[in-house]
Amino acid sequence: MSGPNTNYDPVEVSALDPANVDAAVQEALTAIAGAGSLDDLKAVRIAHQGEKSPLALANREIGALPPSAKAEAGKRVGQARGRVGQAIAARQAELEAERDERILVEERVDVTLPAVRRAAGARHPIELVSQRLADAFVGMGWEVAEGPELESEWLNFDALNLGPDHPARQMQDTFFLDPVDSGLVLRTQTSPVQIRTMLEKEPPIYVVAPGKVFRTDDLDATHTPVFHQIECLAIDKGLTMAHLRGALDAFVRIMFGEETRTRVRASYFPFTEPSMETDFVCFACHGTGHDESGAQCRSCGGSGWIELGGSGMVNRKVLRACGIDPDVYSGFAFGLGIERALMLRHGVQGMHEMVEGDIRFSQQFGMEV
């Protein structure tokens, strides 16, 4: 900025020269009109309205003018800055309006479009029933026990009194793991969880163990190579078959309703002695063996009873192998397949429906409980 100078001729200060001021305004207006975005306009504003812009410099020169020249120069520069300021404000408004318009188009939501529907999942009925049964037993003070699906052959068979030559060992078509001498199998039953529990805990023991089991069956209407069992084991002083029946009855009532009666038949399992099979009265024909039209009941095949599963008093040999004194403690155990019971309960036509994982199947039952 020049110092005060009483002999000053404004025409000689080039920044204040009217032609230069006009040129600065024209240049600014051209730049403003050419600003295609708000960012561009910001740069234009700094260049033409900022502290270092020609008009700001011109404005600063006014202070150095003699009083007689100040008014005219001030008016000229003031008007020039005013025009630039207005043009920037107008362009700013235009560009903001354009931006808002664009955002409205870009972010437009058509509320009339059909929504992308995400089907609510549903838990598989096998899972639900297993949990319902386990929960009910937990409610009676039992604990849930678990074991691995990849089980040692010893726990799956030998410890359950199924020695290497035992015929029942061949009856359960087993998946062996490579190499065969690894001693590992995919467990064929949940019964090894009994052994694990007895080896781990001191009596009294009351456990329920739901889980997957595996056998080399082909998938057909009534078989599947992967299925589910639920195993119960109780070891305490003075347990008898009466307690076993009580537990089985409780189980069946949870699964098929309060009114369901059971019956037991003598049977054989190497890890129980005595052993029995339990049947429950057919929930479809209530034991009559025929439906309302007199035709043979399809759920029980006309017998009035449906097989539930195996059970018995834990074999003394098994107790001893697990370090439990059979003269002090006795126990009972039972193990049931879940799939078959569920198929009967819900009238599921074939095993395929059970295992294929179609959400529409699960949804029919998945909200239950």
Is 203 a binder of ligand DAH (CB under 6 A)?
no
Which segment (5-13, 41-49, 258-266, 328-336) binds ligand DAH by CB under 6 A?
A: 328-336
- In the complex, what is the shortest distance from the CB of residue 115 to ligand DAH, in angstroms, rounded to a whole number? 47
Q: Nearer to ligand DAH by C-beta: 91 or 169?
A: 169
From 152, 191, 197, 278, residue interacting with ligand DAH (rule: CB under 6 A): 191
Residues contacting 240, CB < 8 A, separation 6+: 313, 330
Q: Nearer to ligand DAH by C-beta: 47 or 168?
A: 168
- Among residue numbers 330 through 369, which ones bind ligand DAH (CB under 6 A)? 333-335
192, amino acid identity: P
Q: Nearer to ligand DAH by C-beta: 59 or 275?
A: 275
Is 315 a binder of ligand DAH (CB under 6 A)?
no
- Among residue numbers 222 through 251, which ones bind ligand DAH (CB under 6 A)? 231
Is 270 a binder of ligand DAH (CB under 6 A)?
no
Q: Nearer to ligand DAH by C-beta: 32 or 234?
A: 234
Q: Nearer to ligand DAH by C-beta: 53 or 197?
A: 197
- Among residue numbers 291 through 310, which ones bind ligand DAH (CB under 6 A)? 309-310
Cα-based torsion angle of the residue sequence 286, 288, 293, 299 in order, rounded to the nearest 10 degrees? 60
Q: Nearer to ligand DAH by C-beta: 61 or 279?
A: 279
Sheet containing 262-269, strands listed edge to edge, beginning at the edge strand earlier in sequence: 143-144, 205-214, 226-236, 330-337, 305-314, 272-281, 262-269
Q: Nearer to ligand DAH by C-beta: 332 or 361?
A: 332
How far apart, in Å, are the Cα atoms of 320 and each of 169, 171, 208? 21, 25, 21
d(CA 120, CA 359): 9
From 157, 269, 283, 365, residue interacting with ligand DAH (rule: CB under 6 A): 269
From 161, 260, 272, 330, residue interacting with ligand DAH (rule: CB under 6 A): 272
How many residues touch ligand DAH under the rule CB under 6 A: the total is: 12
d(CA 33, CA 80): 16
Residues contacting 266, CB < 8 A, separation 6+: 274, 275, 276, 277
Write the interaction track for ligand DAH spanning residues 38-77; mark x where CB under 6 A is met and - where it is not: ----------------------------------------
- In the complex, what is the shortest distance from the CB of residue 281 to ligand DAH, in angstroms, rounded to a whole number? 21
By the 8 A CB rule, do 309 and 333 touch? no
Q: How many CA atoms lie less than 13 Å away from 60 in the CB half-sphere?
A: 11
Q: Nearer to ligand DAH by C-beta: 54 or 310?
A: 310
Q: Where are the beta strands (DSSP E) in the chain?
A: 143-144, 150-152, 184-186, 205-214, 226-236, 262-269, 272-281, 305-314, 330-337
Q: Nearer to ligand DAH by C-beta: 10 or 312?
A: 312
- In the complex, what is the shortest distance from the CB of residue 155 to ligand DAH, in angstroms, rounded to a whole number? 12
d(CA 157, CA 74): 107
Helix axes of 54-62 and 18-34: crossing angle, nearest 10 degrees: 150
- Would you put residue 20 in left (φ > 0), alpha (ψ -120 to 50) or beta? alpha
- In the complex, what is the shortest distance from the CB of residue 168 to ligand DAH, in angstroms, rounded to a whole number? 8
d(CA 19, CA 198): 105
Q: Nearer to ligand DAH by C-beta: 59 or 189?
A: 189
Instruction: Tell how far CA 239 is from the center of its chain.
Output: 42
Is 147 a binder of ligand DAH (CB under 6 A)?
no
- In the complex, what is the shortest distance from the CB of residue 214 to ligand DAH, in angstroms, rounded to a whole number? 11
From 10, 203, 270, 312, residue interacting with ligand DAH (rule: CB under 6 A): 312
Q: Which of 188, 326, 186, 150 has the alpha carbon at shortest distance from 269?
A: 188
Is 195 a binder of ligand DAH (CB under 6 A)?
no
Dihedral of alpha carbons 183, 187, 191, 197, sign:
positive
- Residue 235's φ and ψ, nearest 5 degrees, are -130, 125
Q: Which residues bind ligand DAH (CB under 6 A)?
A: 189, 191, 231, 269, 272, 309-312, 333-335
